[in-house]
Amino acid sequence: MDPRPGWFYGFVNATQTPAPLTAADRCDRCGAQAYVRVLLPSGELLFCAHHAREHADKFSSVATHVQDETDRLHAEHGAGAGVAG
């Protein structure tokens, strides 16, 4: 058995520089444009606004930094855009 908690440590990126998120950054869960970057000791995760909220309880306890750009969602696309449910 792999002792690691699955997907959470499966996405490792060597780059931990908190550059602004772009349209090329995609949610690790659903592939939508990412608006939240979660920096971990072992790498980083990208989430859309929906999945950032959904997984907040999981990453908040281990994240070294959370870069939240969900305010851009409203500025660029209007309220509710990209948020499924």
Instruction: By CB under 5 A, name the binding residues for Zn ion.
Output: 27, 29-30, 32, 48, 51
Q: Which is nearer to Zn ion, 1 or 22 (CB)?
A: 22
Strand order in 43-47's β-sheet? 43-47, 36-40, 65-68
Q: Which among 52, 51, 44 is positioned nearest to 68, based on CA atoms? A: 52
Q: Which is nearer to Zn ion, 16 or 83 (CB)?
A: 83
56 token code pair: 């907040």
CB of 3 to Zn ion, least distance (A): 26
Q: Which is nearer to Zn ion, 30 or 63 (CB)?
A: 30
